[in-house]
Structure 1
Amino acid sequence: MSALEILWPVLALTFVMVGIHTLFGLEILRRGVIFTDLAVGQVAAVGIAVSSAFLGGEHQAILSLVFSFAAALLIAYVSRHSRHIEAFIGLLYAMGASAVMIVLSQGSEGDELFKRLMANDILFVGSGDILQAVGVYGVICLLYWGLYSRLSGFVRELFFFSLLSLMVTTSVPLAGVLVVFTLLIAPAYVALLQKRFIPVYFGWMYGWGFIASALYLSYRNDWPTGYSIVFVGTFVTLLIVLWLERTREVKKR
């Protein structure tokens, strides 16, 4: 079996994931609430952990969605009423991470599930998972482009964070919290720093580039797929950001 035959399902999934996550990542960076997705994803993971530890894995999607929507509601409210929203989001993430560990400590497979929640091995994702994710992402995009710009005030904030929570709830079981965070922030970060191309298009191309590289390295070296995406994406992004910032400083002189 060739590498392409093994990798095409995860390539297809991550291709779609980069598309929608970059779109939301640009909005997150412009709002200055960088760790929102990380916090929402971690709280969504609490729902998955509760399902696994106490309900035998049943109602996982519903519990994850309920937990993430609760986090989205809190963040939407705080974004309108607090001067220190990043502090609130950081504490929400810490609470979610500790809650996951406490819940999973009740079962015998807690450590393994925690690793999957952080960065799942999406190399073995099935075609049914891909089709389901594509369907949900498609609905999210239609709602975002069709309604978001028409809203205002708290309703606009709640609508955005609710869509974000739905997207994160869909992505975390497939890829893990850290992969979702990387796909949201890394392409958008580089896209906003460069000035030559339209940010969303550049972010898509950049995200697809490092995803393909990470999957190839993972396949060739037998690395964990999820953690390979996180490492390659963050490592390359940090190098590019340092180079772009240095170039900008030189031009100012």
Structure 2
Amino acid sequence: MTDILLHALLLSFILLGIHAYFGLEIVKRGIIFTDIAIAQSSAVGLALSLLLFQTPSYFISLLFALLCSLLIALSQRKKEYAEAFIGLLYALGFSSVVLLLSKSPRGMEEFMALTASDILFVPKEEIFKTGVLYALFGLLLYLRARFLSGIAKEMAFFALFSLTVTSSVKLVGVLIVFSMLVAPALVARLFGRGLIFAWVYGSAVNIAGIVLSFKYDLPTGFSLVFLHSFLSILLFLAKVLI
């Protein structure tokens, strides 16, 4: 049991490591729906591949995520309406997943996994591969910031964002990706802090969520989403009212 907890904690730290960075960028740009829209589009690709081939396809999932990223990039030409457009992309993605999986014999089970899966049971081999992959993405993000500019820099950001989200959705589901992207970043920005604070705060919430879910036999994925969302809302209200 200890190994299961440690593996889940390690995966949550790996996910937080890169998602907190993207979250700070997204919150700073004011396009909050971007991450969940891309994550949900990635889930559409997974749902479609499950329906057609009975197995999830990373390539199809990535294709849908990249298409959503392209549409979001195009929406920036009409910035005053972009957030509404991105929100509709999310709604389209969510409804598409439900419609596709309604034709699958294990539709509800697959829907729950794509929404927020139980990270206690992610194989350790997948955790190791994810750690290596996200370390590579982190290096590419550093090179992007150092050597690119203009449209090339933006396109590289959205491409790496799509790759990261696609990999994460396949492992843990849309809502966990969204909560780890937005919640630590929002709290960090509220208190005028940066990436290190987001990592420390997010790690503390991850530990609490996983331990509590294990102790009280609750779904781990949804426990993480609940705790990240609940604490962020409380801190936001405290900042606004005090």
Distance, in Å, in 1 between the alignment partners of 2:174 and 2:150 is 29
1:215 to 2:210 alignment:
yes
Residue 68 of structure 1, aligned match among 55, 65, 81: 65
Q: Could you say which residue in structure 2 is the equivalent of 1:239?
A: 234
- How many Å apart are 1:157 and its aligned residue? 2.1
1:148 and 1:159 in contact (8 A); partners too: no
Distance, in Å, in 2 between the alignment partners of 1:20 and 1:126 is 20
Distance, in Å, in 1 between the alignment partners of 2:203 and 2:8 is 12
1:148 and 1:160 in contact (8 A); partners too: no
Distance, in Å, in 2 between the alignment partners of 1:155 and 1:88 is 23
Q: Could you say which residue in structure 2 is the equivalent of 1:203?
A: 198
2:210 and 2:220 in contact (8 A); partners too: yes
Q: Which amino acid aligns with 1:227?
A: F
2:115 and 2:174 in contact (8 A); partners too: yes
Q: Render the CA deviation track for 1:207-246: whole Å, top value 9, x for unaligned.
A: 0011000001100111001000001111111111111222
1:37 and 1:181 in contact (8 A); partners too: yes
Q: Render the CA deviation track for 1:172-202: whole Å, top value 9, x for unaligned.
A: 111110000000000000001113xx41111
1:186 and 1:234 in contact (8 A); partners too: yes
Residue 173 of structure 2, aligned match among 158, 176, 186: 176
The two structures, once aligned, show a CA RMSD in angstroms of 1.3
Q: Tell me the secondary structure at the aligned position of residue 84 of structure 1.
A: helix
Distance, in Å, in 1 between the alignment partners of 2:151 and 2:96 is 28
Distance, in Å, in 2 between the alignment partners of 1:50 and 1:148 is 35
Q: Could you say which residue in structure 1 is the equivalent of 2:48?
A: 50
Distance, in Å, in 2 between the alignment partners of 1:109 and 1:50 is 13
- How many Å apart are 1:149 and its aligned residue? 4.6
Residue 142 of structure 2, aligned match among 145, 160, 166: 145
Q: Tell me the secondary structure at the aligned position of residue 105 of structure 2.
A: coil
Q: TM-score, normalised by structure 2?
A: 0.96
1:187 and 1:206 in contact (8 A); partners too: yes
1:120 and 1:173 in contact (8 A); partners too: no
Identity, % of aligned positions: 43
2:144 and 2:153 in contact (8 A); partners too: no
Q: Could you say which residue in structure 1 is the equivalent of 2:3?
A: 5
Which runs of 5 or more residues in structure 2 are unaligned? none
Distance, in Å, in 2 between the alignment partners of 1:160 and 1:189 is 20
Q: Could you say which residue in structure 2 is the equivalent of 1:32?
A: 30
Q: Which amino acid aligns with 1:213?
A: A
Asked which structure has the greater CA Rg, the reply is 1
Q: TM-score, normalised by structure 1?
A: 0.92
Distance, in Å, in 1 between the alignment partners of 2:159 and 2:82 is 17
1:136 and 1:170 in contact (8 A); partners too: no
1:129 to 2:96 alignment:
no
Which runs of 5 or more residues in structure 1 are unaligned? 248-253
Distance, in Å, in 1 between the alignment partners of 2:17 and 2:236 is 21
Number of equivalenced pairs: 242
Q: Which amino acid aligns with 2:48?
A: V
Distance, in Å, in 2 between the alignment partners of 1:68 and 1:148 is 22
- How many Å apart are 1:81 and its aligned residue? 4.4
Distance, in Å, in 2 between the alignment partners of 1:151 and 1:26 is 19
1:227 to 2:222 alignment:
yes
1:51 and 1:57 in contact (8 A); partners too: yes
Q: Render the CA deviation track for 1:62-98: whole Å, top value 9, x for unaligned.
A: 1111111111111112224443110111010011111
